[in-house]
Amino acid sequence: MNSDSESPPRTPAPVIGVAAADLDRAAAIILAGGLVAIPTETVYGLAADATNPAAVAKIFTAKGRPSFNPLICHVSGLAMAETLADFSPLARALASRFWPGPLTLVLPRKSSCPVADLATAGLPSIALRSPKHVAALGLIARVGRPLAAPSANPSETLSPTTAQHVAHNLASKIDLILDGGACEAGLESTIVAPGETGAVMLRPGALARAEIEQLTGPLTAPDDASRVLAPGMLRRHYAPRARLRLNALDVTPGEAFLGFGPPPEGVSPSLNLSIRGDLEEAAANLFAMLRALDETHVEIAVAPIPGAGLGEGINDRLKRAGALA
Ligand code: TXA
Ligand code: MG
C-alpha cells in the first residue's frame, strides 16, 4: 500500500467474449454505473453510461485523465444522436454517409441532452459517433443510452487495439473487458466539427480526409480556440516510453527500426507496419507495434510514412508520440 489516497487493489477485470450473454452481462454492469472495455472498429474504448456522472467520473480516474478533456459519446445511430445534439443538414449528411463508422462529429449540445456535463467537460458541444462494431452496437442497444468511451488506455499512452492491451494496463481499475479480437482500423476516429457550410478537422484519424471532403469541401484547420477545445490535440499524446526518431532512413546501434514498405538498403526492420506499403494495414498495426518495440527498446527509428489518405492520421500520431515530454 503506497498511500492512503490510493484505492485498495481490485480483482483484475475478467476478459470475456462478445456473445449475447456476454453483452447482457456488460450492459448490466454499465447500467449499474460500472466500467467496461469494449471493442470498436478503431481502438478499444472504456465505456460507461454517459448519462451517469459518477460512472463518467470513474473513467477519468481509471485513465488518470485531466477532467477538462471531453469524451466521445457512442450512439446506436442518427436517431439517438439527434436526441443529444443539434444536427445541421451537413452534419446529418455526414452521419448518414459515414455512420456506423470511424467519424466523430462535434456538434452543439441540445439543452435537453441527458449526458453528464463531466463527459463533455462542461462544453456547449458534444462529440458523437456510432461505432461500426457489432459488439459495441449490441451493447448500446441493450443499455439504451449513449456510452461515453475514450480509448481504453491510461492518459497519454498508446491506444489499445486488442483486449490484451487493455488487460495489461487497466485490468485492476475497471469491471469487465469484452474481447472482440483485434481492431480492424487500429487508429482512432477522425473528428470533425461541421459548421453551416464547411467543416473543421479537429483530429485526423481512421476516416481519410478526402472521403469527408466529398461532402464538406476542403476541411479547415482548427483555430487556437478550437485547439483548446480538443485536448486530443495536445502536443504529446499517444506516447510510448521510448524515444522516437521519425522519417528514419537508417538505423543506429541499439535502435529498433519500425519499417513501412521495403526497408532501406542494409536495414532489417525489427517490425514492419506494412511490407506492402499499405496504409490501412499500417494503421491497424501502428499502436500494437509501437507497444511491442517499447517493451524491448528505448529508441525507435520509424521509416517515413506517406502523408496521403490514412497516412495523415498515422503521421499525426507518430508526431505526438515523438514529442518530448
Ligand atoms: O476512435 C475513437 O475515437 C476512440 C473510440 C473508443 O471511439 N475514442 C477516442 O476517444 O479516441 P478519446 O477520448 O481518446 O479521444 C476523444 C477526442 C479527444 O481528443 C477530445 O478532446 C475530443 O475527442 N473531444 C471530445 N469532445 C469534444 C468536444 N466537445 N469538442 C472538441 N473535441 C472533443
Ligand atoms: Mg485516447
- C-alpha separations of 20 from 13, 63, 135 in Å: 19, 28, 9
321 lines ligand 1 (CB under 6 A): no
Which pLDDT band, with edges at 50, 70 and 90, does 287 fall under? confident
The ligand with the least distance to the CA atom of 105 is 1
Partner residues linked to 109 by β-bridges: 85
Question: Is 208 within 8 Å of 309 (Cβ atoms)?
Answer: yes
At 321 the pLDDT is: 85
Q: How far apart are CA 94 and CA 108, in angstroms?
A: 15
Which cell numbers in the block locate residue 271?
Answer: 517490425
pTM of the full structure: 0.85
Q: pLDDT tens for residues 234-253?
A: 555 667 889 999 999 999 99
At 230 the pLDDT is: 53
Q: Ligand 1 pocket: which of 84, 188, 235 to mutate (most atoms <8 Å of CB)?
A: 188
Residue 8 has pLDDT above 80, yes or no: no
At 73 the pLDDT is: 98
**C-alpha 153 to ligand 2 mean position (Å):** 7
DSSP state of 54: H
Q: pLDDT tens for residues 121-134?
A: 778 899 999 999 99
Other C-beta atoms lying within 10 Å of the C-beta of residue 307? 14
The ligand with the least distance to the CA atom of 69 is 1
223 CB contacts (<8 Å, ≥6 apart)? none
49 lines ligand 1 (CB under 6 A): no
3-state secondary structure of 72: strand
85 lines ligand 1 (CB under 6 A): no
The ligand with the least distance to the CA atom of 237 is 2
Question: Is 270 within 8 Å of 257 (Cβ atoms)?
Answer: yes
**C-alpha 262 to ligand 1 mean position (Å):** 34
Identity of residue 303: A
Strands 103-108 and 72-74: unpaired
**C-alpha 150 to ligand 2 mean position (Å):** 6
